[in-house]
Amino acid sequence: MKNRVTVIGAGNVGATCAQYIAMQNLADVILIDIVEGMPQGKALDITQAGGPLGFDAMVTGTNDYADTAGSDIIVMTAGLARKPGMSREDLQQANADIVKECITRAIQHSPEAKILMVTNPIDVMTYHAYKLTGLPPKRVFGQAGILDRSRFAAFLAMELNTSVREISAMVLGGHGDSMVPLPRFTTVAGIAATELIPKDRMDAIVERTRKGGGEIVALLKTGSAYYAPAAATANMVEAVLQGTHRMMPCSVYLSGEYGIQDVYIGCPCILGGGGVEQVVELELNNDELAALQKSAKIYKENIALLGHK
């Protein structure tokens, strides 16, 4: 039986995510949105790309959650996008209401599904979905770390004029300005990045990575990033559906790791068929650990605003 993935939200991120999943023949995709006609039109368009691009996954658009029944993964992308000058936290309450409406309806029809959160602010919304559904935390996780890592790697490749495929980058912390890029755990063809890039340049790249999403928002003026976020999400879908046990930085639930309790935050984990199969604890130095704990504290404060106990 073919895998089924529901993508909630047929905007730029959701539709592009559905496209990437279909292009890799990972699953049939159900693209759902509140706007009548939009998911149906985009789904039909993506399906018709199968011939020239060589995939036969079916993408179905709908406005009815009954059509999503039996999904293996629910990908939540619906929500308001950031506008220039708006932080991820500004979006929080409005998107919390959207997440509650969508996730509670979707999980009724697919009670065995894993939930992959993409809606911003991702770390807070992932915790929100975890509390709303009552699912084990290993089955609820957020996307941001892979996107942050890919931005860090892209900037390093630009700096070194080398292929981004040679770069293995690591980023911890929340998906926002408090994220913690880790040059010490980042390599270029196996060589420590800190050996190749002077500290002042590395500091500038780290800062650009932290503000990578905002940079794109400022350039676009009427939207936010979607190609890279969708690609990062499809990466995670692949790891779960194919059970590849890949080590990836994701928004995961911590219950004492890194001295952090009861919060979702970006950390390396093993992602496989069961969802988050293991949270990986790195040997951080004092500065790195303090930065991660500071990031977690910010998100715990934001979570408290949602009223979860």
- State pLDDT tens for residues 269-292: 999 999 999 999 999 999 999 999
Domain that holds residue 196: 145-304
DSSP class of 267 = E
**Which of 86, 89, 79 has the alpha carbon at shortest distance from 298?**
89
Q: Does 110 share its domain with 45?
A: yes
Q: How many domains does the chain have?
A: 2
- pLDDT at 64 exceeding the cut of 90: yes
Mean pLDDT (whole number) for 38-46: 98
Question: Residue 173's domain is classified under what CATH number?
Answer: 3.90.110.10
Tell whether 297 is covered by a domain: yes
**175 part of the active site:** yes
Q: Does 149 share its domain with 287?
A: yes
pLDDT band at 175 (very low <50, low <70, confident <90, very high): confident
Q: Which of 1-5, 92-96, 132-136, 296-300 has the largest mean confidence?
A: 132-136
- State pLDDT tens for residues 77-129: 999 876 677 666 677 888 999 999 999 999 999 999 999 999 989 999 999 99
- State pLDDT tens for residues 255-267: 999 999 999 999 9
Residues 6+ positions from 57 with CB-CB distance below 8 Å: 2, 21, 22, 23, 25, 26, 27, 28, 29, 50
Q: Does 107 share its domain with 179?
A: no
User: CA 133, CA 168: separation in Å to the nearest integer?
Assistant: 34
Q: Does 292 share its domain with 265?
A: yes
Q: Does 206 share its domain with 85?
A: no
Given the residues 109, 128, 175, 308, select the one marked as catalytic: 175
- pTM, 2 dp: 0.95
